[in-house]
A = this chain, B = another copy of it.
Amino acid sequence: MNMPAADANRVLRVARPIDGLPVAEDFAVEPLPMPEIGDRELLVRTIYISIAPGVRPLLPYKGEAPDVAQGAGAGRVGGADDDVPNPTRIGIGERMRSGIVPSMSKFAGGTVGEVIQSRHPDYAPGDFVFGGRYCQLYEAIHGDASIKLDPAQLPIEADLGLLGRSAFTGWCGYRRVADPKAGETIVVSSAAGAVGMMVVQLAKREGLDVIGIASGASKCDFVQTLGARACIDRKAEDAGAALDRLAPAGVDIYFDNAGGFLQRPVFDRLKPFGRLIVCGMAAEYGGAEQSVLPTGTILGKRLRVQGFVVLDYEDDYPAFREEVVRLWREGSLAYRQQVYHGLEEVPQALADCLSGQSGGGKLLVQVSPDTSVGGRGP
């Protein structure tokens, strides 16, 4: 546990190019002056930081970066100063971000915390907010790009997990890209992860036949509690052979959060008019695995292969939030999270997220006491 004194600020910076999975030495925890806030800004004590694989392609690579940099060339170019973060890359010496989104939108953040000072009329000290961009203990956050949380309604970390960007990613991919139909067979990789949890449950609710893929028996058990008819343990069995047994007629949708060597055996089992939703490629972000698709099969089977990034679905955030809160209150959305402690744990949490060496669910790092209702005290 590394809970700071109330008046000390610290930040996690990128220290060097990273070789495959991150290790602690790739980063440095350094002191930082307490931020001074401007008009409509808040000084926030960070409590929870979201961990998600999508930030990995933005980090510097030792050697050549794999071709999966999100937002590359998308025209959302920020400044050189990381106060206006460059959306495509995090440079050496720059602050580690809590997510991939640099925009002013209300769902862009990757932390939740408590307001210490406010120069925004809608916020007061003691409020809890979602919206921090960085792995640092105290941050100046613009009140217009934050969401005030009600701890009596939902746990404050819900905006990183249940309502976080990973869950939103799963929702967007399922609702806006996959074109799912009742009765279809959907395969979801990294099904126990923060994206997969959402996709599995939405698909099950809407009458699809859901097959998960996860690493290890424990995660597979969890995926089946979410509603999957079956879950393939990729550590214990060949995914292609398992699919031949579980879905001999083939697969309509592969919602792929993993990429890498696992992709092709599922792709090869897509039915005509099947869809490969390229949502994430955690297996490839380190550079060790790569996947390629034969165009001939795409033509012969009239497949659709589509990549998407949650950045592009900002307008859908309210609809997502409304639906997920409703399902949660109905008690029909299961959820799992795993909490690491201290800024120094961010690299390990990210490595575990990328490698699947976690217990499944959403990964968070707690960096200061949760003083909210039901929170994890100091």
Q: A residues near B, CB below 8 A?
A: 57, 66-75, 250, 259, 263, 271-273, 278-281, 284, 290-309, 312
Contacts and interface: CB of A to CB of B under 8 A. Distances in A.
Contact of A305 (B70, B250, B296, B306): B306
Contact of A299 (B273, B309, B312): B309
Give 5 closest A-B pairs by Cβ, nearest first.
A68-B296, A299-B307, A292-B292, A298-B307, A305-B305
A302 B310 CA distance: 10
Given A291-B295, A300-B307, 5 more contacts: A67-B296, A279-B299, A281-B295, A281-B296, A302-B308
16 contacts: A68-B296, A68-B299, A70-B299, A72-B300, A74-B272, A75-B272, A259-B295, A293-B295, A293-B298, A293-B305, A299-B309, A301-B307, A302-B307, A302-B309, A302-B312, A303-B305
Contacts of A293: 292-293, 295, 298, 305
A300 B57 contact: yes
Nearest to A295: B291
Contacts of A272: 71-75
A250 to B, nearest CB: 8
Contacts of A297: 67-68
A263 B294 CA distance: 11
Given A73-B272, A291-B295, A303 B306 contact: yes
Contact of A290 (B281, B291, B296, B299): B296
Contacts of A66: 296
A165 B250 CA distance: 30
B301 A305 contact: no
Interface centre among A281, A292, A296, A301 (most CB of B within 10 A): A296
A374 to B, nearest CB: 37
A74 B300 CA distance: 9
A150 B69 CA distance: 57
Contacts of A263: 295
Contacts of A73: 250, 271-272, 301
A307 B273 CA distance: 9
Given A290-B294, A293-B293, A300 B69 contact: yes
Contact of A292 (B294, B299, B308, B309): B294
Given A74-B272, A307-B302, A312-B302, A291 B281 contact: no
